[in-house]
Chains A and B, each alone.
Chain A
Amino acid sequence: MTPDSSFFDALMDAAVDAIIIIDQQAIIQRFNRSAQTLFGYSEDEVTGKNIKMLMPEPVRSRHDEYISNYNRTGKAAIIGHGRLEKGKRRNGEVFPMWLSVGESRLHGQVHYVGIIHDLSHQHATEEKVRMLEEQLFHADRLLVLGELTAGIAHEINQPLTAIAAYADAGRHLAEQAAETRKGTGRAADADGPQASGSAADPEDSDSLRIYTRISEQSRRAAAVVERLRNLVRSGTSKKAMHDVRSIIKNTLLLFDFELKNMDVDVQVSIQENLPEIRVDEIQIQQILVNLVKNGLDAVSDAGRPQGRVDIAVHSDAEYLNIAVSDNGAGVPQDSLKHLFEPFYTSKPKGVGLGLSICKNIAAAHGASLQHSPVQPHGACFTLSIPLANIG
């Protein structure tokens, strides 16, 4: 056709994206090297065949209709721009792709050129992020629920303890009063059968019964609170051996989007040859997400340029230490004491459960979570997980 058709062939094969050229009847004319890799067919195998073979249902059955519609009406559904589509490989696998189609008219001949960008890798990442987010969200809800329940249980148990103790005291005192009255009653009985001693008994037994009922009912309420606590707490921890590197990688994956829009430098340094740790992966991620989020909030609140959040992992003889530090404003002196308390927060929209939950997760792993200030300004939170974590 043209004198430099070899130049054209070379360009086709150099393209990273798949390029497929079809004619007006949707018959494949050219199929570049990337297309061959992507779909798993050689050019000879597909040349002369209908492009439909590369499509999954339901598009596959409708494609003839699309083509004839376009040829008849000139109204393009896809030509001239691109959209998300699905392709079908030789092995039957369906994958997401970005398809853009252009039209060429040369010597009265119409050809369509389709350029295909493979999205399977990107989709897999997005899918993973979505899954991680979902898991964390679920774990988060359970933990918040657990923390709330524990807080409420404590607040309710205090007055219940007092009520039960008051009732028990009342019962003791009523018993003693009854004893005394019985004593004087008996003395009165000696004077005559009509004495008042027997009349006091129903009164005493009434108050005794009332005190006993109050005591029983306060303990019933306590049992309800206890059941609720057990319900929320049960079966939330699944410990297994994990590599800290992958836990941190998955954690940062969740911040991908946020970090793109922030001027913050996140550095990760992990000591070589760390042993695996026995932990609930989701729960440890939960802690790290909280700490990294706090760090990012701190540097963006401080509004300084060159915000930094560092994650450093190293181990000593007993512990694997994960330190998350930032160069934000640091924790104010008067907040230090309450830092890990539930419902304590310095954030306008905060609930104040983040660090308190983190501390509880750490405790459930036999681990500790400690704060230390960073010089000249900033905060560092260190999670120390015991290496011999058998529990």
Chain B
Amino acid sequence: MQHIGIIDDDEAIRESLRLLLYAAGYSCQVFASADEFLSKPVEQPIELLLLDIRMPGTDGLELFRMLRRDKVPYPVIFITGHGDIPLAVNAIKQGAFDFLTKPFRKGELLEKIQQALHFYRERKSQLQDVHELRRKLDDCTPRERDVMQLMVQGLPNKGIAEALNISPRTVEIHRAHVMEKMQAESLPALVRMVTLLGEAD
């Protein structure tokens, strides 16, 4: 079961959300304030946080800034009243996943939670991919990387040889090493890998 944290100072809201998320198949832990969230141990790793924007003490935005500084790996969805929409939009610009205006439209809450969890799962596996690719890239020699750069631009061996001022035979050897080290089954696969690395930088 995916674990969701709920922070809201209104008891009825946090309890009703807990029940709704429980009914929808999530496990939850509720907190009455940002400070409680920071001081109380979590029962299991949080995978998503529902955060009320306006609370006494440390408010939602302040907590969010702290979490962002700590680079927490889960999405944050803000819960806001109508008057706070500009604040919520600002929070999204700072990296919050989304916001929900009270009272929520039918199905809206569960939909956004699913979207957020899906998005972060994708991103996580993509991050793992990038991590893996970087490791493979590190195995390549500087010369092999030069060849790789020109390969993904679609240059034939002869073109690469001319550009790097080496023999086509040498290019062929480098090329085979690149494909082997990057574990690329084809040129298009290699192009995808390099693109992904480029996006991550």
The answer to whether B109 has its CB under 8 Å from any CB of chain A is yes
Instruction: Given A159-B12, A219-B103, check contact A165 B81 (CB 8 Å).
Output: no
Q: Chain A nearest CB: distance from B16 CB in Å?
A: 4
Of A158, A163, A215, A363, most B-chain CB atoms within 10 Å: A158
Task: Evaluate contact between B82 and A165: CB separation under 8 angstroms.
Answer: no
Instruction: Given A150-B83, A154-B81, A154-B83, check contact A161 B23 (CB 8 Å).
Output: no
Q: CB-CB < 8 A to A169: which residues of B? A: 16, 19-20, 22-23
Q: Chain B nearest CB: distance from A152 CB in Å?
A: 12
- Residue-wise, chain B 155-184 has the 8 Å CB interface mask toward A (1 for contact) of 000000000000000000000000000000
Task: Evaluate contact between B104 and A165: CB separation under 8 angstroms.
Answer: yes
A164 (CB) vs chain B CBs: closest residue? B103
Interface residues on A, range: 20 to 34
Q: CB-CB < 8 A to A163: which residues of B? A: 16
The answer to whether A365 has its CB under 8 Å from any CB of chain B is no
Q: CB-CB < 8 A to A150: which residues of B? A: 82-83
Q: CB-CB < 8 A to B93: which residues of A? A: none
The answer to whether A157 has its CB under 8 Å from any CB of chain B is yes
The answer to whether A229 has its CB under 8 Å from any CB of chain B is yes
Instruction: Given A154-B81, A157-B81, A176-B23, check contact A166 B16 (CB 8 Å).
Output: yes
- Residue-wise, chain A 113-156 has the 8 Å CB interface mask toward B (1 for contact) of 00000000000000000000000000000000000001001100
Task: Evaluate contact between B82 and A162: CB separation under 8 angstroms.
Answer: no
The answer to whether B66 has its CB under 8 Å from any CB of chain A is no
- Residue-wise, chain B 76-114 has the 8 Å CB interface mask toward A (1 for contact) of 000001110010000000000000001111110100000
Task: Evaluate contact between A168 and B82: CB separation under 8 angstroms.
Answer: no
The answer to whether B24 has its CB under 8 Å from any CB of chain A is yes
Task: Evaluate contact between B83 and A164: CB separation under 8 angstroms.
Answer: no
- Residue from the list A160, A165, A172, A173 in contact with B17, Cβ < 8 A: A165
The answer to whether A218 has its CB under 8 Å from any CB of chain B is yes
The answer to whether A97 has its CB under 8 Å from any CB of chain B is no
The answer to whether B13 has its CB under 8 Å from any CB of chain A is yes
Interface residues on B, range: 20 to 34
Q: CB-CB < 8 A to A226: which residues of B? A: 82
The answer to whether A178 has its CB under 8 Å from any CB of chain B is no
Of A159, A161, A164, A166, most B-chain CB atoms within 10 Å: A161
Q: Chain A nearest CB: distance from B164 CB in Å?
A: 52
- Residue from the list A153, A162, A229 in contact with B16, Cβ < 8 A: A162
Q: Chain A nearest CB: distance from B68 CB in Å?
A: 24
The answer to whether B10 has its CB under 8 Å from any CB of chain A is yes
Task: Evaluate contact between B20 and A172: CB separation under 8 angstroms.
Answer: yes
Question: In the bound complex, what is the Cα–Cα distance between A222 and B19 (angstroms)?
Answer: 21
Task: Evaluate contact between B105 and A161: CB separation under 8 angstroms.
Answer: no
B21 (CB) vs chain A CBs: closest residue? A169
Instruction: Given A153-B82, A157-B82, A159-B12, check contact A165 B20 (CB 8 Å).
Output: yes
Q: CB-CB < 8 A to B107: which residues of A? A: 168
Task: Evaluate contact between A219 and B106: CB separation under 8 angstroms.
Answer: yes
Task: Evaluate contact between B12 and A158: CB separation under 8 angstroms.
Answer: yes
Question: In the bound complex, what is the Cα–Cα distance between A284 and B104 (angstroms)?
Answer: 35
Q: CB-CB < 8 A to A158: which residues of B? A: 10, 12-13, 102
B103 (CB) vs chain A CBs: closest residue? A161
Question: 3 closest Cβ contacts across the A-B interface?
Answer: A172-B23, A165-B16, A162-B12
A-B contact pairs, 29 of them (CB 8 A): A153-B81, A154-B81, A154-B82, A157-B81, A157-B102, A157-B103, A158-B13, A160-B103, A161-B102, A162-B10, A162-B12, A162-B15, A162-B16, A164-B103, A164-B104, A165-B13, A165-B16, A165-B20, A165-B109, A166-B20, A168-B23, A168-B106, A169-B20, A169-B23, A172-B24, A219-B105, A222-B103, A229-B82, A363-B86
B residues near A, CB below 8 A?
10, 12-13, 15-17, 19-20, 22-24, 81-83, 86, 102-107, 109
Q: Can you name 7 extra interface pairs (CB under 8 A) apart from A159-B12, A172-B23, A215-B106? A: A150-B83, A153-B82, A161-B13, A166-B19, A166-B20, A219-B103, A363-B86
